[in-house]
Structure 1
Amino acid sequence: MIKAILFDYDDTLVQTRKTRYNTIYKLSEELFKTKITEKEIDAAWGLPAEEFLLKLFGRFSSDIHYLWSIYIEFSKKDLNIPHLNAFDFIDKYKNFVKFGIVTSSSEKVVIRELNELEVDTNLFLQIQTSDHTAVHKPNPNVFEPIYGLLKNKNISKNEVIYIGDSPADYESADGFGFHFLGIAHDDRHLSYFQTGEIPFVRNFLELEEYLINQYGFL
């Protein structure tokens, strides 16, 4: 029986890659007068928040507070976009299971975006960001903080499923002992899930159907 559903945030619940690549392109051109490539962003994507900014812009400034301020300033101009039915699904089942988020993104970014999207953060038992742990995916120990809260609710590892879009999401969840379900909104990591025979869905309607069929969800 599944009693808790944990989500990755970027590219799982919201369309961060699509939104933030545009933000980074504009920031690079307008402030640093350079054209950053998609390959460069790909190489930094998924890193903890501060490492991400330093990898992208560290050659222009090592002042992380400055980099944060300009990144946030530019990102406010590009509102993130939820994946279809993502938060409707959570709202629908909020009284039946515990929900949480485990992400490598910064708390200041995630909370701001959820507020902009008018998502009630109280839907989540915990929104665990890069600020809450010294380790990050694919290290399985990334789940220790949020699992401490789940244990206090008498929820065991085999009653938890983590849903994410990337290999690091799978490796960390599987290593920790959680169930895992991939969500391939696009084809970026589709072959990884397919060749590894890792269960995945393409959207939140399929996700709901999968949970009902596989785990007798509700």
Structure 2
Amino acid sequence: MIKAIIFDYDDTLVQTRKTRYNTIYKLSKQLFDTEITEREIDEAWGLPAEVFLLKLFGRFSSDINYLWNIYIEFSKKDLNIPHPNAFEYISKYQNIYKFGIVTSSSEKVVHRELNELQINTDLFFQIQTSDHTNVHKPNPDVFEPIFVLLKNENIDKKEIFYIGDSPADFESASKFGFHFLGIAHDNRHVDYFQRGEIPFVRNFLELENYLKKYI
């Protein structure tokens, strides 16, 4: 029986890649008069928030507070978009599972976006961001803080699913001892899931059907 489900945030619950690539393109052109490439963003994607910004824009400024401020200002012009049925699923099953988030994004970004989307953060017993730990995916120790909270409620690792979209999500969650389910909203990591015989779904309707057998 599964008692808790923890989600990755970016590209799992919300369409961050699609939204933020556009933000980064505009920021780079307007402020730094340069055209950043998709490959450059790909190489930085998934890194802890401050490392991500420095990798992209560190050649223009090493002032992380400045980079944060301009990134947030530009982000406000491009509202993030939930994946279809993501938060509806969580609302529907809030009395059956404990829901959490573990993400490499920053606390201020995640909470701001959830507020903009009018998502009740009380749906989640914990939203763990890059601000809560010194280690990050694919290091499995990233799950230690959130697991301590669940262990205090007598929930074992084998009673927990982690849902994510990337190889780093699978590697960290499986090594920590959680069940893992991939969610492939696009084809970016489908080959990885298939080659590794890693269970995955395409959307939240398929996710709901897959997890019903664990209720």
Q: State the alpha-carbon separation in 1 of the partners of residues 32 and 72 from structure 2.
A: 16
Partner of 2:144: 144
Shift of 1:153: 1.2
Q: State the alpha-carbon separation in 2 of the partners of residues 161 and 140 from structure 1.
A: 14
Q: State the alpha-carbon separation in 2 of the partners of residues 19 and 95 from structure 1.
A: 31
Shift of 1:89: 0.2
Shift of 1:8: 0.1
Q: Match of 1:17, as an amino acid? A: R
TM-score, normalization by structure 2: 0.99
Partner of 1:115: 115
Q: State the alpha-carbon separation in 2 of the partners of residues 86 and 113 from structure 1.
A: 14
1:61-76 matched pairs, under 5 angstroms? 61-76=61-76
Shift of 1:148: 0.5
1:1-218 matched pairs, under 5 angstroms? 1-213=1-213, 215=214, 217=215
| Aligned-residue CA RMSD (Å) | 0.4
SS at 1:101's partner residue?
Answer: strand
For these two proteins, the number of residue pairs brought into alignment is: 215
Q: State the alpha-carbon separation in 1 of the partners of residues 118 and 137 from structure 2.
A: 28
Shift of 1:212: 1.2
TM-score, normalization by structure 1: 0.98
Q: Percent identity?
A: 80
Q: State the alpha-carbon separation in 1 of the partners of residues 153 and 133 from structure 2.
A: 21
Q: State the alpha-carbon separation in 2 of the partners of residues 152 and 111 from structure 1.
A: 25
Structure 2, unaligned runs of 5 or more = none
Q: State the alpha-carbon separation in 2 of the partners of residues 3 and 31 from structure 1.
A: 47
- Deviations 1:132-190 (Å, cap 9, x if unpaired)? 00000000000000000001111000000000000000000000000000000000000
SS at 1:143's partner residue?
Answer: helix
Moved over 4 A (4+): none
Q: Match of 1:127, as an amino acid? A: I
Structure 1, unaligned runs of 5 or more = none
Shift of 1:200: 0.1
